[in-house]
């Protein structure tokens, strides 16, 4: 039974509930304080047990356990007031097969400090028990077919039925619930008889110890026992609370100019070897912080230090550490510090800090806000004080790793969760600034992904649905082997050319230009790739299929962490269309987003799901461990992977690399500048 | 070459299950996995690090440096600290493992290297406290959200009276002062034992909700 209450803004909840033959696993996200979205995976066991079709069941009856994926949206239209309840409107399974579709309007009111009452009206699935008629007309039949399309002509149509419930919080830990459900489970208890539904009433008791986890046990429909577990994550706050990171070097304050005029002499600028000595001294200060000096440039009053940040997820903290190292190392005559983060050899932005502000604000009551108002973010292109000296031992730089990783395959109806434990050997050489050669080999150690028997039935070029063949025939192979050149063609511009084995399934050339001023919410990009499909064994061989694919992209940040991205272009299967991605990004780097791609491929040719869509989730490592790290775990959750609307996967795409070190990214975790 | 193992279960069990995972290399990913493995293993097998032992005055004298000791009773922590920097009225003291406390006019004004730090603050001076002057103070804390959360306190100061105290085997004549501060978030009570010249010899000062209070004794002066 739905409730009108919302989760805290930004909360991500993972629920798994089970009763009788029905299992539901749901991932929900509170997109805004009022709007939430859910992705649900439902499994119904004994689907064809009692319909007498075995062993020759066909169509949807072929499944012993029927699995379905669905999306929900809920919007709270009214906040709870002194007399008024909270009211929420919801759409369940709004783009699905229709079997789980239902709409509702629901109100919830706290009538006493620990007593909550909920009442609502449901349509569709939620209008199947105790209907009061069809106030908005008949519900048109839905063609289950491939599923995946929106069915707005169904919404709030057909029989409506009331539902309701009460919830009593016995104390902080225990809650008792009773509800009247308007879902008759027609398909499940009708001819399929997957369970015996004796009553619309459900009763339950729930236990929670803090906001992170809630466990429940229920008596469902008078005949079944149910169990549930709900987990709540708050992306806004690090799970470890604090940061596991040593103190910075304190600012060393210069003597006053009158007390020691000689200290301010600029003669040192002409001294040969000064740059190397300063680079060495800065590196000694920054070594423990995982920051490496790429180069230094200075005149008598300004010094620019270019750094590669290998550690801090927070650019603000990186800038704070480098600024303090500069205050410790640089001669007193330097009044202006310029910090230039370098990403893949590209100098990106330039953070300009007045040395006097650093000295004066270090412990001041408004130190954090004060520094934010004084720091200047500019483009790194076109401004170097004096001449740039690149650190002698910076290039070439070789890095390698041998580490295990986990690969998962979700929603195969034969086995909804498959996983492989695999080993990756990766290496990279930064030969010169911006020139990076890298490669990786992977080997599956143990797992069942390649056991899948679901071979492609796609009528499009099989640019993604043949993935299983790569898993089966290429369990040891080349993942990537590329040469990449990153460069700055001009102010506000970033460029990349990558050639080689770009991803597991494609090899070729990928090129990209991005326009992104440091303080602009808008960025524009062009990407053009020419690729050929790789052999299934993931060796050096190529198959016949080749395609030129590319996109024009626009990126816009609306503030408050909401981002939109539109990509228009040609996809891997040669189809033409557009992708819209909406993302909410939290200041610590957590991201939750959804995307949908519509191309000129018809729903029939696309196959199950009708068009490509899914959810993105990125969890920064620092959030989980508290130890600063630039690493994060990105995940893409697609109800199904088909060939339409598929994009090339290439490392080092520019927008994400560049944005973090721009004004936006710097402000996000600004609180860590002085940390 | 650096390698480490994912010890999320006792090693013996992992070997038996064939799941002893090892990662090697010098890339950022390996450093990150190392942090993750460490965090997982501390979740499964909480680390039991021995607290820093209490040392005698003679033992500490061998370091031949000004020194303070800060104890955090709530977490059974003990920090010995030596001065490392001076910025105006603020003196920063550091442990050997990069935890720093900064004092403005002898009153704790900032910390770095703790899970929750006092990043910035306004504080009364020891002399103002000694004169019983009430007033306001503020602190900006940095914790789980990576944002500064500012708390403003209204404080009333009570001069309790003269008191002879012992700081690591040595007696000092002080005046005990109590500073009682209220804010939206609750109430804190700091205590100071101040010598006639305004030098704080000992104090009990609020760090954060996370750590509670620190008891700080000034052993060897600057």
| Confidence category of residue A587, pLDDT binned at 50, 70, 90 | confident
What are the domain boundaries of chain A?
Answer: 12-233, 261-394, 397-664
Superfamily (CATH) of domain A12-233:
monomeric porin ompg (2.40.160.40)
Contact residues, chain A, for B22 at CB < 8 Å:
402, 404
CB-based contact A226:A15 (threshold 8 Å): no
Closest chain A C-alpha to B168 CA, distance in angstroms: 27
pLDDT digits (tens, 9 = 90+) for A600-612: 999 999 998 889 9
pLDDT at res. A99: 80
- A368 near B CB under 8 A: yes
Among the listed residues A348, A376, A380, A496, the one whose alpha carbon sits nearest the alpha carbon of residue A436: A496
Query: Mean pLDDT, to the nearest integer, of A428-440?
Result: 96
Determine the topology of domain A261-394 in CATH. Answer: GMP Synthetase; Chain A, domain 3 (3.30.300)
A12-233 and A397-664, same CATH topology: yes
| Confidence category of residue A453, pLDDT binned at 50, 70, 90 | confident
pLDDT at res. A270: 92
Angle, alpha carbons A310-A312-A313 (nearest 5°): 115
H or E stretch at A338:
strand A336-343
Q: Give the right CATH number for A397-664 from 3.40.462, 2.40.50, 2.40.160, 3.30.1360.
A: 2.40.160
pLDDT at res. A461: 96
Which chain A residue lies closest to B97 (C-alpha atoms)? A246
State both tokens at A526: 């062009």
Contact residues, chain B, for A248 at CB < 8 Å:
112
- Mark yes or no for CB contact A675/B117 under 8 Å: yes
Closest chain A C-alpha to B169 CA, distance in angstroms: 31
pLDDT digits (tens, 9 = 90+) for A168-195: 999 999 999 999 999 999 989 988 999 9
3-state secondary structure of A460: coil
Q: Give the right CATH number for B57-220 from 3.10.150.10, 2.150.10.10, 1.10.260.40, 2.40.360.10.
A: 2.40.360.10
Q: Between chain A and chain B, how many beta carbons pairs sit less than 8 Å apart? A: 159
pLDDT at res. B8: 47
What are the domain boundaries of chain B?
Answer: 3-44, 57-220
Instruction: Round the average pLDDT of chain A to a whole number and report it.
Output: 93
Contact residues, chain A, for B147 at CB < 8 Å:
587, 669-671
Contact residues, chain A, for B17 at CB < 8 Å:
none
Is a pLDDT exceeding 80 seen at residue A366?
Answer: yes
- Mark yes or no for CB contact B145/A238 under 8 Å: yes
Closest chain B C-alpha to A404 CA, distance in angstroms: 7
Residue carrying structure tokens 């939290």: A586
Lowest mean pLDDT among A113-117, A415-419, A505-509: A415-419
pLDDT at res. A258: 93
pLDDT of chain B, 222 residues: tens digit per residue? 567 665 444 444 444 444 446 788 888 777 777 777 776 666 555 555 567 888 999 999 999 999 999 999 998 899 999 999 999 999 999 999 899 999 999 999 999 999 899 999 999 999 999 999 999 999 999 988 888 999 999 999 999 999 999 999 999 999 999 999 999 878 999 999 999 999 999 999 999 998 999 999 999 998
Query: Could you give the ipTM of this predicted complex?
Result: 0.90
Between CA A23 and CA A67 the distance in angstroms is 9
Percent of chain A with pLDDT over 70: 99
CB-based contact B41:A627 (threshold 8 Å): no
Among B104, B120, B211, pick the best mutation site for testing chain A contact (most A Cβ within 10 A): B120
Other C-beta atoms closer than 10 Å to the C-beta of B1 total 7
pLDDT digits (tens, 9 = 90+) for A374-411: 999 999 998 899 999 999 989 999 999 998 888 988 88
pLDDT at res. A105: 97
pLDDT at res. A439: 97
Residue carrying structure tokens 């039925």: A161
Is a pLDDT exceeding 70 seen at residue A508?
Answer: yes
Among A255, A365, A366, A623, pick the best mutation site for testing chain B contact (most B Cβ within 10 A): A365
pLDDT at res. A411: 87
pLDDT at res. A144: 59
pLDDT at res. B129: 96
Is a pLDDT exceeding 50 seen at residue A483?
Answer: yes
DSSP of A534-557: EPTT-SS-EEEEEEEEEEEEEEEE
């Amino acid at each position: 039974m739905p409730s009108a209450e919302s989760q805290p803004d930004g909360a991500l909840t993972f629920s798994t509930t089970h009763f009788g033959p029905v299992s539901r696993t749901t991932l929900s996200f509170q997109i805004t304080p009022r709007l939430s979205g859910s992705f649900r995976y439902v499994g119904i066991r004994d689907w064809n047990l009692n319909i007498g079709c075995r062993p020759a069941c066909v169509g949807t009856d072929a499944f012993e356990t029927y699995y379905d994926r669905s999306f929900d949206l809920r919007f709270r239209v009214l906040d709870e007031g002194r007399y008024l309840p909270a009211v929420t409107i919801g759409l369940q399974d709004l783009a699905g097969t229709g079997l789980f579709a239902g709409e509702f309007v629901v109100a919830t009111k706290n009538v006493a400090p620990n007593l909550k009452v909920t009442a609502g009206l449901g349509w569709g699935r939620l209008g199947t028990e105790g209907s009061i008629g069809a106030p908005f007309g008949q519900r048109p039949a839905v063609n289950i077919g491939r599923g995946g399309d929106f069915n707005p002509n169904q919404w709030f149509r057909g029989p409506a039925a009331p539902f309701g419930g009460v919830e009593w919080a016995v104390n902080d830990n225990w809650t008792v619930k009773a509800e009247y459900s308007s879902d008759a489970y027609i398909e499940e208890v009708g001819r399929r008889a997957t369970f015996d539904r004796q009553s619309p009433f459900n009763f339950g008791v729930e236990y929670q110890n803090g906001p992170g986890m809630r466990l429940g046990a229920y008596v469902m429909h008078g005949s079944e026992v149910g169990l549930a577990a709900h987990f709540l994550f708050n992306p806004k706050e690090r799970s470890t609370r604090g940061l596991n990171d040593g103190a910075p070097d304190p600012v060393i304050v210069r003597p006053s100019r009158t007390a020691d005029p000689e200290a301010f002499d600029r003669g040192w600028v002409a001294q040969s070897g000064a740059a190397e000595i300063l680079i060495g001294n800065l590196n000694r200060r920054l070594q423990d912080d995982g920051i490496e000096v790429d180069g230094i440039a200075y005149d008598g009053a300004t010094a620019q230090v270019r750094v590669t940040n290998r550690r801090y997820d927070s650019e603000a903290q990186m800038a704070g550490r480098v600024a303090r190292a500069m205050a410790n190392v640089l001669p007193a005559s330097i009044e202006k510090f310029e910090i230039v983060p370098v990403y893949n050899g590209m100098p990106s932005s330039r953070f300009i800090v007045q040395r006097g502000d650093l000295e004066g604000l270090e412990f001041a009551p408004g130190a954090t806000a004060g520094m934010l108002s004084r720091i200047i973010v500019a483009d790194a292109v076109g401004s170097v004080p004096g001449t740039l000296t690149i650190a002698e031992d910076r290039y070439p730089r070789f890095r390698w790793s041998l580490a295990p990783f986990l690969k998962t395959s979700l929603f195969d109806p034969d086995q909804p969760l498959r996983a492989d434990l695999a080993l990756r050997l990766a290496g990279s050489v930064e030969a010169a600034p911006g020139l990076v050669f890298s490669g990786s080999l992977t080997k599956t150690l143990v797992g069942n992904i390649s056991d899948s028997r679901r071979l492609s039935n796609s009528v499009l070029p099989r640019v993604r649905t043949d993935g299983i063949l790569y898993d089966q025939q290429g369990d040891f192979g080349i993942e990537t082997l590329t040469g990449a050149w990153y460069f700055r063609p001009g102010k506000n511009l970033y460029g990349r050319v990558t050639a080689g084995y770009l991803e597991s399934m494609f090899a070729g050339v990928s090129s990209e230009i991005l326009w992104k001023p440091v303080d602009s919410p808008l960025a524009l990009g062009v990407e053009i790739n020419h690729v050929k499909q790789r052999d299934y064994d993931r060796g050096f061989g190529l198959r016949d299929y080749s395609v030129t694919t590319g996109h024009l992209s626009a990126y816009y940040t609306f503030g408050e962490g909401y981002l939109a991205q539109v990509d228009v272009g040609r996809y891997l299967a040669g189809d033409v269309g557009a992708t819209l991605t909406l993302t909410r990004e939290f200041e610590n780097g957590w991201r939750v987003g959804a995307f949908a791609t519509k191309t000129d491929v018809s729903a029939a040719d696309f196959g199950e799901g009708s068009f490509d869509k899914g959810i993105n989730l990125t969890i920064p490592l620092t959030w989980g461990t508290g130890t600063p790290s630039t690493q994060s775990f990105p995940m893409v959750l697609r109800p199904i992977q088909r060939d339409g609307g598929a994009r090339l996967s290439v490392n080092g795409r520019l927008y994400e690399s560049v944005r973090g070190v721009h004004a936006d990214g710097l402000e996000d975790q600004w609180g860590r500048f002085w940390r | 070459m650096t390698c480490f193992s994912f010890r999320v279960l006792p090693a013996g069990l992992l070997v038996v299950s064939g799941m002893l995972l090892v990662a090697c290399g010098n890339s950022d990913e390996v450093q990150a996995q190392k942090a993750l493995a460490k965090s997982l293993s501390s979740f499964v097998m909480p680390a039991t690090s021995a607290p820093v032992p209490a040392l005698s005055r003679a033992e500490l004298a061998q370091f031949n440096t000004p020194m303070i000791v800060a104890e955090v009773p709530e977490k059974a922590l003990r920090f010995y600290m030596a001065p490392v920097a001076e910025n105006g009225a603020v003196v920063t003291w550091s442990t050997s493992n990069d935890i720093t406390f900064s004092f403005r006019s002898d009153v704790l004004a900032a910390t770095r290297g703790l899970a929750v730090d006092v990043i910035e603050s306004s504080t009364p001076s020891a002399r103002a406290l000694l004169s019983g002057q009430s007033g306001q103070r503020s602190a900006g804390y940095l914790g789980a959200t990576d944002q500064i959360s500012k708390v403003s306190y209204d404080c009333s100061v009570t001069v309790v009276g003269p008191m002879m105290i012992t700081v690591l085997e040595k007696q000092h004549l002080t005046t005990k002062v109590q500073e009682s501060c209220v804010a939206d978030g609750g109430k804190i009570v700091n205590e100071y034992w101040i010598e006639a010249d305004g030098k704080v010899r000992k104090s009990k000062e609020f760090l954060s909700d996370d750590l509670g209070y620190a008891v700080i004794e000034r052993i060897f002066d600057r």
